[in-house]
Amino acid sequence: MAGLNLERRIVVVFVGLVVLVMGLILLLVQRSGERIVAVESQRQLAAGQTSFESLVAQNQRQLELAATVLSRDFSFREAIATQDRPTMISVLQNHGSRIGARAMMALALDGRVIADIQQQQKPGDAFAFAELLAAAEAAGQASDIVRMADGRMYQVVVVPILAPVRIAWIVMGFPIDHAWATSLARTSGLDISLVNAAGSRMLASSLPESRHAVLLQAMAGETGLSREVTLDGDHFQGIALPLGQQARVILLHSLEKSEAVFKELERSLLFTASGGIVLLVFGSLWLARHIAGPINALAATARRIEAGDYSQPVVVQSQDEIGQLAASFEGMRVGIASRESKITRLAYEDALTGLPNRVRIEERLASLGDTAEAALVVLDLDRFAAINDALGHPVGDQLLRQVGARLVQQLPPGAMLARLWGDEFAFLLEDMARPAVVDFAESLRVALQTPMDLEGQRLDVNGSLGIAFYPADGTDLNALLQRAELAMYEAKRRQSGYMLAEQVGPGPLPEHLSLIGEMRDALDKREFILHYQPKLDLASGRVTGAEALLRWQHPQRGLVAPARFIPFAESTGFIREITPWLLEAVVAQTAAWRAQGFELVVSANLSARDLLDPGLVAWVRELVTGHALPPAALCLEITESALMEDPALAQAHLQALADFGVKLSIDDYGAGQASLAYVKSLPVHELKIDQSFIRTLADSPKDVAIVQSTITLGHALGLAVVAEGIETEADLAWLAANGCDVGQGYFIARPMAADALCDWMNGRRAQAG
């Protein structure tokens, strides 16, 4: 549309300008034509007038001459001298016809008529035109244009008959009629009309009779004024002049010829202009196409590029500015295409392995139809962090690449393999039956069993798989991934190779989401409170520390049991909002107690998410320093499972914390899979035996053995061993007897508020004291 507009605009501008100029020229020509015609016709009329007047004078002279010559004719004179009227009439007729005089009269010297061939005047009558006769007497001869008795106009010449003295006058009248007018008209180039003195009657005219009336009307009034006359549509310049005493003549100059020149000029101009405009229309159309065509092509290409199609090259074959523009356009297209493909690659491709990334697989999943079935298989390498730490990141990266390459070989047609992050890979398998998916998972494990060759080192790699089905286990990547990862972690925990999401169960239920909201409110409204359970040094019987335990004083539900919300807070990550508050409160309380003289080492629990928080170490350091607390006054308890989520990072953070001086404790030891070998590598200070072992101590010899060996092993590793969940005196006694360092449990004291702990300790002190 824009191109058409440009074309049209160019054509309109060009053609419009030419039409304007041509129009102006035509107008100018027409105007000047009219003016020139007017001036020219006036000039020609004036010239014609002069010519007419001289013609009339010449005519008159010729008539006079002819009359004079005739009057000298001897026989004519002889006949006149006879005074015989019949003879005279006869000779007058005869000789008058010789020179074309229609009226012939002989007058006596006294002015009386002797003979008149037309019998207009009777013999003896006085000549009708006495003035004329007087003029003839004065000048020898005279002439005038008069109207005679027959009502016609005559050019009358009066000449004497000399024999050789004047013996008579001869009056000769030459008719002034249409022939006269026509003849004069031919000679003068004007149309000549003779009208009576009043201008009311046409006497003779070179014009056709049909025009007489109009002409009389148009030229009525004053004489001597040039004016324009239109007769039957023809234009004339006309002037009326007196002719003799009894007539006036109207001279008309036709404008037709003068106008014709300009009409012709106008026609030629119009023709030229029309031709020029047609040429210009085509020319400017061609030019406009020439300009707009490539621009349209560029615009089309630009739209294609806008739509994301970079494939078609910009081809404009011209050397002008548009060609240069097209060339830069082409450069731009190539540049954008290459950059976009690079960006796309970066956006959808994992830079390390070249596999699709998480975004890509997410899009693929989103593009699945409602009726489609698919399986998301998540693979996480076992012990990758340890490999990474042990052999360095470059080797780790190389391992990931090799794993990726090997996994790609297993990829069934139509399936997608992506690297999600770290050592976690995901397969998206479409339209594959569940048994086939399970078989595929098995085949992956088999494929990974072949050791990797990393720079000459053979490396055994295992992976745990979690499988979630679309749409049964979730309809978006996050849901599916969560389920699959849960299954994968479970598989990893159980070392079962793979787990189906449905075997592991769903993650947080929708009602849990409202719980998150409530927890957030609780945090704001300070509904969370901390209770402290004393830790008793079994050897000395002194309270050396306390464990801070989170409690939720819900306004409606009352005290909410930790098991009801802490696992949920951990699984949803909300724990990371609670922990900072908790740590601050613990540190503040510890500092307060110290101020009161209770030098307690206070423990706080860290979840796996807390432990993996990259800001944790700095935060703890700032907190402890801020309260001027010796770092060793704070003990952080970490469960085995928290350690196992990312052992490498966990170990790094623990190391940093240990370096700072904070005490570290492995919580619930024995419930997880943490091997003593792993524990050994950790910079921890104590082991807390899972209370499930302690509770059944009295009944289960196995547990007695486990606890006993754990205490032994703990000591062997230089760790303090803590038993929690001590509910009986017997258990306490047994543990103290078996070298357990610290005890904790209802039997010693229930968890209590900070103030209550103060009172309790003061009470114990008093009791002991």
Q: Nearer Cβ to another protein, position 167 or 352? A: 167
Q: Which of 614, 674, 598 is nearest to 638 (CA)?
A: 674
Distance of closest approach, residue 43 Cβ to another protein, in angstroms = 40
Distance of closest approach, residue 162 Cβ to another protein, in angstroms = 7
Task: Please state at what angle helix 434-449 crosses helix 393-409, rounded to 10 degrees.
Answer: 140
Burial class (CB in 10 A: 0-12, 13-18, 19+), 173: buried
Report d(CA 282, CA 384) in Å as an integer. Answer: 77
Q: Nearer Cβ to another protein, position 140 or 422? A: 140
Does 65 interact with another protein (rule: CB under 8 A)? no
By CB under 8 A, name the one of 22, 33, 45, 77 that touches another protein. 77
Does 72 interact with another protein (rule: CB under 8 A)? yes
Does 162 interact with another protein (rule: CB under 8 A)? yes
Q: Nearer Cβ to another protein, position 164 or 769? A: 164
Distance of closest approach, residue 259 Cβ to another protein, in angstroms = 51
Q: Nearer Cβ to another protein, position 115 or 203? A: 115
Report d(CA 301, CA 30) in Å as an integer. Answer: 52
Does 164 interact with another protein (rule: CB under 8 A)? yes
Does 671 interact with another protein (rule: CB under 8 A)? no
Judged by CB under 8 A, which stretch of 70-78, 113-121, 200-208, 490-498 contacts another protein?
A: 70-78
Judged by CB under 8 A, which stretch of 102-110, 164-172, 233-241, 587-595 contacts another protein?
A: 164-172
**CA torsion sign, 44 to 48 to 51 to 57?**
negative
| Number of residues in the chain | 769
Q: Which of 353, 442, 456, 346 is nearest to 406 (CA)?
A: 353
Does 167 interact with another protein (rule: CB under 8 A)? yes
Give the 3-state secondary structure of residue 103: strand
Distance of closest approach, residue 118 Cβ to another protein, in angstroms = 25
Judged by CB under 8 A, which stretch of 158-166, 213-221, 323-331, 731-739 contacts another protein?
A: 158-166
Lookup: tokens for 726: 């001590």
Does 95 interact with another protein (rule: CB under 8 A)? no
- SS3 of 237-250: the string is EEEEEEECCCEEEE
Q: Nearer Cβ to another protein, position 137 or 234? A: 137
Does 81 interact with another protein (rule: CB under 8 A)? yes
Q: Nearer Cβ to another protein, position 79 or 269? A: 79
Task: Measure the N-to-C terminal CA separation of the chain; round to a whole number of Å.
Answer: 101
Residue ranges of alpha helices (H) inside 375-430 are 384-391, 393-409
Question: Could you please report the per-residue DSSP string of 14-49?
Answer: HHHHHHHHHHHHHHHHHHHHHHHHHHHHHHHHHHHH
Distance of closest approach, residue 164 Cβ to another protein, in angstroms = 4
Q: Nearer Cβ to another protein, position 86 or 718? A: 86
433-470 core/surface letters (b: 16 or more CB in 10 A; e: else): eeeebbebbeebeeebeeebebeeeeeebebbbbbbbb
The pair phi, psi for residue 433, each rounded to 5°, is -65, 155
Judged by CB under 8 A, which stretch of 73-81, 96-104, 250-258, 690-698 contacts another protein?
A: 73-81
Burial class (CB in 10 A: 0-12, 13-18, 19+), 553: middle
Number of residues that bind another protein (CB under 8 A): 10
Q: Which of 59, 268, 72 is nearest to 181 (CA)?
A: 59
By CB under 8 A, name the one of 165, 595, 628, 768 that touches another protein. 165
Judged by CB under 8 A, which stretch of 74-82, 552-560, 632-640, 748-756 contacts another protein?
A: 74-82
Does 138 interact with another protein (rule: CB under 8 A)? no
Q: Nearer Cβ to another protein, position 161 or 216? A: 161
Distance of closest approach, residue 140 Cβ to another protein, in angstroms = 8
Report d(CA 324, CA 310) in Å as an integer. Answer: 19
Judged by CB under 8 A, which stretch of 69-77, 87-95, 431-439, 528-536 contacts another protein?
A: 69-77
Judged by CB under 8 A, which stretch of 160-168, 307-315, 392-400, 566-574 contacts another protein?
A: 160-168
Lookup: tokens for 614: 């990259």
Does 78 interact with another protein (rule: CB under 8 A)? yes
Distance of closest approach, residue 167 Cβ to another protein, in angstroms = 7
Name every residue whose Cβ is closer than 8 Å to that of residue 327 and which is 6 or more positions away in sequence: 316
Residues contributing to the site for another protein (CB under 8 A): 72, 74, 77-78, 81, 162-165, 167
